[in-house]
Structure 1
Amino acid sequence: MSLAVLYSRALSGMDAPEVVVEVHLANGLPSFTIVGLPETEVKESKDRVRAAIQTAQFEFPARRITVNLAPADLPKEGGRYDLPIALGILAASGQLPKQALTNYVIAGELALTGELRPIRGALAMTYQLIQGPAHKRAAILPQESAHEASLVEGCSIFAANSLLEVCAHLSGKQSLPPHPLVLTESSLSFPDYLEVKGQLRAKRALEIAAAGQHSLLMSGPPGTGKSMLANRFNSILPDMTTQEALESAAILSLTGQFPASQWKKRPFRAPHHTASAVALVGGGSVPRPGEISLAHHGVLFLDELPEFDRKVLEVLREPLESGNITISRAARQATFPAQFQLLAAMNPCPCGYYGHYTQRCRCTPEQILRYKNKLSGPLLDRIDMNIDVPALKPEELSHDHHGEQSAAIRARVIQARERQLTRQQKPNAALGALEISTHCQLGDQANHLLQMAVQKFSLSARSYHRILKVARTIADLAQAEHILDKHIAEALQYRRHDY
């Protein structure tokens, strides 16, 4: 029987469902048909496969060729099916043994010369491969894709450069060596807070935000160092765990943006304010992750926050609460994780100099109000901390004394984060309502202070809970077992009440 069966993997959101590649040869007029809901890229693989087989000096059968990509209701896209289709044709025509095919998951795009080109989502594919029941199968991938795929421990990977190498391996003539695990961590290099003069209050707020994974909004005139402070934020964050690194790398792999040199580096995404809602949260006819998912377990920095379209900013509200985003289309639905830490910066008014100690603001009260109203109350309510970053005076700029090194701040952040993980197995920012009641208990004085603030500033229940979580982080940095009134007082300073 002229039938060969192989296994590959598709990409559907964060999942990599199994695809069975069935190749059947029959008598009749020569034809080449691919069925199973193939997209245009998959349909075009017919010509790439034919040319690659002929260039590799194999015989392309002049028969009726039918390729079925099962399941039939799963859309197939990309060039990842070129290699399994070519191998299926060679096996069905008797030029390759069929027995070895069932032991592998195969994916790769073919050049007309028979060389293998990298595919998108190789790491996501192997990450899902070890989760499922078919994890005992090894993977055959292009050499470039195998580098990132090998970061997933527990998956056997064989890397090849061409169709000929894969055929030699399957026929037993020359085996491919297993690709080694690439788990070496690259040296982390970030700009240091030592370079930032002054802004002690802003640095303190960033330290608290890093320790508890809180979101932060900085407001101040242009040139005060808001972007400079944000760009150094990664230098004080704790190291990623292996699980966090795999999840982050798998998402970046879906877009082809993950080099192995970035292993265990927290992503820092800073989209321009002209970005669309689809660019920020993801989307498209074939759902792809957006900036908030690409910043998973990392930092999303939105500079010039009010310049973003209001509708774009409003889509942040749900993922800031839930930590994931679901993209629904007429025929497809995909859920991507989005546990990002939001840093944002803005000017206090359209001209930027409202409240500056020397520069005169040219904006009218109506213009300032309109500018601030670009940010909705519900969005601001979801941001844990709001601080002012004032302009530095000349004597502060000319002073030789620099600030504290990032390494010293990072040591305190790591210590506070370890206290949180020991106590509740998650950062303070991720605490739920019941967990807040358990881990953020207040004494009489602290509770009285917080109740007065709630009444005076008409704080919402969400603001109340976020103040408690920030105060819990401040207490952790102070190595205090309980939240005191001074911790509540400092947390209240990071809530803006002038919007």
Structure 2
Amino acid sequence: MSSSRTRVARTHAIALLGLDGTVVDIEADISNQLPGFVLIGLPDLALGQARERVRAAAANAGCPITHRKLTINLSPAALPKHGTAFDLGIAMAALAADGVVPRESVDRVVHLGELALDGRLRPTPGILPSVLAAARAGFRTVLVPAGNAAEAALVDGIQVVGVASVRDAAIWHGATLDPYEVDPLLLPPLAAEAARHDGDLADVVGNRDAVEALQVAAAGGHHLFLLGPPGAGKTMLASRLPGILPDLAVDAALEVSSLRSLSGLPVGERLVTRPPLESPHHTASPAAIVGGGSGVLRPGAAARAAHGVLFLDEAPEFSPHALDALRQPLESGVITVSRAAGTARFPGRFQLVLAANPCPCGNAGSRDQECLCTPFAQRRYLGRLSGPLLDRVDIRLRVERITAAQLRTADDTDRVDTATARGRVERARAVARERLAATPWRLNAEVPGTWLRSPAGVPARGATAALDRALERGGITMRGYDRVLRMAWTLADLDDATRPDGGHVGRALLLRRAAA
């Protein structure tokens, strides 16, 4: 038993499944059998190739691993492991088993990072959620690639050590090696996204009803459907929605930043504080929308839009399967991706904005253009948006083109700029937060029907008369009934009213049926 104890070394890494991380023990054993390098513990193909990467990287860094029989076990063995972030941990465990670095030192540290063949560490996706998982598991020190050090340092309560190479990591652990200066591998400049320019809400000329509906959607977290001909301003309106949303709270900012890290996008030295905007192309597959893929389960556009806006332009052109895949996240606020290797969960609280032309040519219902589509073609085109999906969209608005006369007579003093609209949205959200302080919800769009029918959530007496008639006549579903009441509460918050009255409920019902 004593010889086994001196031969086996152990360190730690993190296996990610979605945003959830599990601590993986990396055990290294050196024996006097035939030379070899065995990696066990359900590695995927990329991780299985760590044998060649680690051996070449360590040799080229001047700290070669043993040529005897080396066995690396990733425990728990039944947990599938994906990706290349285990490379550094495997190298450190092997060097510790060979006596190059102290076993006690590597046993208390989490190692994350992919090795290049020259021994340097590459920036690795998913470092931020991995460091978060390590901190929650009670670890106090984590070694990461130098290119990820700023991102990892966003996690409080844990010491982050950025190392440029496997040799630097061994020296940090106490190996008697002379330091070699190397240029650290950093995120390439092309990986950095250009700063997003949402534009100002004051750029929107006319369409006063649409601008007001945009503020209602932002104040309550409601989903939005814009129907109108090409050139009516649907995309302009949708792109300005993130700008009038308030800054993200700390927990939301950490979640959004973790999703960016897991997607391989740059995070930088600060948490993302502005709501994200995702606008996938209409050829996107269901996996690209909700997440998935082979190997590591990556978040899709809907998950990356968490706490922000998912904009689907030309919505009827999307695959019906991709659109209907959003129905469950819209209801539950959680995206669940199930594969044989496991089930990943991503946050799914986003605001959905759909934009569509009324028909294939786009001119149906237009005042100044003739529609060339048959009634069947019109029905078939919009029929690609399923009823169950549209039933989950709160606001349905028709947007018309602006005429030359309206453009010439537009009064600049009537326009609402982004700063003013955001201030109004923030005040309405503050009122909702105070009202919902004793509940787990913070936005009107999140409250369930049980709360809406409780003494705290029921509108003023007689306010729902028109809504009740619409339900009785089959003009609205029970889900739609509740969504109208949620919008009525948002309208009341924007008007500084203590409780929705008949006017608020009527306006909410109109917003839901304006595109009919």
Q: Same fold, TM exceeding 0.5?
A: yes
CA drift of 1:187 comes to: 9.7
Match of 2:498 in 1: 481
Q: Is the 8 A contact 2:50 2:87 kept in 1?
A: yes
Q: TM-score, normalised by structure 1?
A: 0.93
Q: Any unmatched runs of 5+ in structure 1?
A: 176-185
Match of 1:144 in 2: 147
Match of 1:415 in 2: 427
Asked if 1:272 is matched to 2:288, the reply is no
Match of 1:350 in 2: 360
Match of 2:65 in 1: 60
- The 5-angstrom pairing of residues 186-197 of structure 1 reads 190-197=198-205
Percent of matched pairs sharing the same residue: 40
Q: TM-score, normalised by structure 2?
A: 0.90
Asked if 1:14 is matched to 2:19, the reply is yes
Q: Mark the CA change 1:346 to 1:189 in structure 2 (over 3 Å): closer, same or farther.
A: closer
Asked if 1:371 is matched to 2:375, the reply is no
Asked if 1:40 is matched to 2:56, the reply is no
Moved more, 336-345 or 255-264: 255-264
Per-residue CA deviation, residues 55-114 of structure 1 (Å, 9 max, x unaligned), is 222243221111111111111222211111111121111111112112211111111211
What amino acid sits opposite 1:263 in the alignment?
Answer: V
Q: Is the 8 A contact 1:110 1:116 kept in 2?
A: yes
What amino acid sits opposite 2:13 in the alignment?
Answer: S
Per-residue CA deviation, residues 246-299 of structure 1 (Å, 9 max, x unaligned), is 112212221212422672121100011111111111123333221111111111
Q: Mark the CA change 1:163 to 1:266 in structure 2 (over 3 Å): closer, same or farther.
A: same
CA drift of 1:130 comes to: 2.5
Match of 2:339 in 1: 329
Match of 1:431 in 2: 447
- The 5-angstrom pairing of residues 214-363 of structure 1 reads 214-260=222-268, 263-286=272-295, 287-363=297-373
CA drift of 1:478 comes to: 0.3
Q: Any unmatched runs of 5+ in structure 2?
A: 1-5, 180-193
Match of 1:464 in 2: 481
What amino acid sits opposite 2:497 in the alignment?
Answer: A
Moved more, 148-157 or 226-235: 148-157
CA drift of 1:497 comes to: 7.3
What amino acid sits opposite 1:267 in the alignment?
Answer: P
What amino acid sits opposite 2:483 in the alignment?
Answer: R
Residue 457 (structure 2) aligned to one of 440, 449, 456: 440
**CA distance in 1 between partners of 2:495 and 2:48 (Å):** 62
**CA distance in 2 between partners of 1:366 and 1:433 (Å):** 37
Q: Is the 8 A contact 2:55 2:64 kept in 1?
A: no
Match of 1:178 in 2: none
Q: Is the 8 A contact 1:130 1:154 kept in 2?
A: yes
**CA distance in 1 between partners of 2:358 and 2:372 (Å):** 12
CA drift of 1:440 comes to: 3.1
What amino acid sits opposite 1:487 in the alignment?
Answer: H
Q: How many residues align?
A: 487
Asked if 1:130 is matched to 2:135, the reply is yes
Q: Mark the CA change 1:411 to 1:290 in structure 2 (over 3 Å): closer, same or farther.
A: same
CA RMSD of aligned residues (A): 2.0
CA drift of 1:400 comes to: 5.7
Asked if 1:93 is matched to 2:66, the reply is no
Match of 1:179 in 2: none
**CA distance in 1 between partners of 2:363 and 2:64 (Å):** 74
CA drift of 1:476 comes to: 0.1
CA drift of 1:50 comes to: 1.4
